[in-house]
Homo-oligomer: A and B are copies of this chain.
Amino acid sequence: MALVYLRTGMTREATFSLFVRHLPATRGFLVAAGLESVLEYLETFCLGEEEIARLAEAYRLPPVELEPLRGLRFTGDVWAVPEGRVVFEGEPLLEVTAPLPEAQFAETFVLNQVSHQTTLTSKAARCVLAAAGRPVIDFSLRRCHGVDAGMHAARAAAIAGFAATSNVAAALEYGIPATGTMAHSFIEAFGDEALAFRTFVEAAPGPVTLLVDTYDTEQAVALAVDLLRGVPAERATGVRLDSGDLAALARGARKTLDEAGLPRSRVLVSGGLDEYDVHDLVAAGVPVDAFAVGTKVGTSADAPYLDATYKLVEYDGRPVMKLSTGKATWPGRKQVYRARTLDDVVATRGEPPPEGAQPLLEPVMLRGGRVARQRAPFAVVADAHRRWVTDLDGLPEPVRRLRDPEPPTPRCSPALDALTARVHDELLPRTGAGSGPGRRSG
């Protein structure tokens, strides 16, 4: 497509809008993420000699056919919702304005990063809500969709406010603590739980959390507690339960720890947990001090993708829209205005905000360059975390609750409604389309 645009002179400015058509049924809100990856990509991508040769080979075309693409890079603008902010259906997370071939070329990467990082960050945010103040730890790397996805899962965890990650590379990159852990294999290798625990206490640097469910959990807790009593208080972190009736075992472990005079040693639970399990344990008053979540969170198993889309909304100053059944779009460049009550309004870009409302989208890239200097990954993540904490504060219970949430449906501003109706009516005679709704059907 980019090639056809270049060949036929369709190179005027286009605006594409990235938004989520409908939230997954289990989500009351999303937490925006992925923008930093997008900016890095747009700043650096360029189709050079080698890329052209590779494209030609892949499409099985003579390289000369692709000549117009040579030197293509991104020279446009990006407006975006900053990472960490709460967003809802139909709200643009990002709008790209650039010569049409450039904006088109960016689609795949931009959509990939924003939709999957927003998926993971929204899931991680729910875990933090479920834990109600108790620390949550990311154990997801081993089951994410690749190493890349594992890095993004840990980044999502850091934005959401997890206490630590088992992903060492991500810990360094995003400035959250790395946490080591003992696996069942450690105990099995020694073949004797007491010997394994003792060896760990003696030879492992740092905190001691003993895994107690390899053979018989109650007996292992007794063993572990005996050992923890001999360890300096700051190292005696606690015990980890990874299988069985976690509620009953946690109560038993807590009691044993307390009776041994170790009130500050923690009961950590893990083992295929997601936010629903965490919520249920917390709601039942089970004395769990920390949760480790992995597989289901790192793959966002109950909602592994978003119905996100990157749609052309304006070309050469002319607002455009799609009329496809169930997939119609709102035309034109946009802004989202938010009042305290989360009574969001999707508006045309540039129209004045409703009283007391603030804009969500900010210019982050102009003429191919970042508006703000690039910063260290951990600093970007820390800012995103602060935004999430602030937005969370304003989230009413029906929106933030984990089961059967009630996400708000943003309104359209009167100006955007009028624009949509006008563009729709103008399209009808040209396309012969039937009597559409006059606006986005979703």
Contacts and interface: CB of A to CB of B under 8 A. Distances in A.
A312 B112 contact: no
A3 B190 contact: no
Q: Interface size class for chain A? A: 35 or more
Nearest to A216: B433
Of listed A113, A152, A168, A304, residue having the most chain B CB within 10 A: A304
A243 B168 contact: no
Nearest to A142: B111
Contacts of A183: 1, 104, 107
Assembly of this chain: how many copies?
2
Contact of A204 (B3, B188, B305): B3
Given A149-B148, A178-B59, A215-B323, A185 B3 contact: no
A308 B55 contact: no
Interface in A123-164: 141-150, 152
Contact of A146 (B59, B112, B143, B320): B112
A390 interface: no
A100 B189 contact: yes
B54 A315 contact: no
B59 A206 contact: yes
A157 to B, nearest CB: 15
A186 interface: yes
A150 B112 contact: yes
Interface string A314-348: 01001011111111000000000000000000000
Contacts of A108: 141-142, 166
A109 B108 CA distance: 27
Nearest to A185: B312
13 contacts: A14-B185, A58-B172, A104-B183, A111-B143, A115-B143, A116-B149, A120-B145, A145-B149, A146-B146, A148-B149, A189-B320, A193-B431, A214-B323
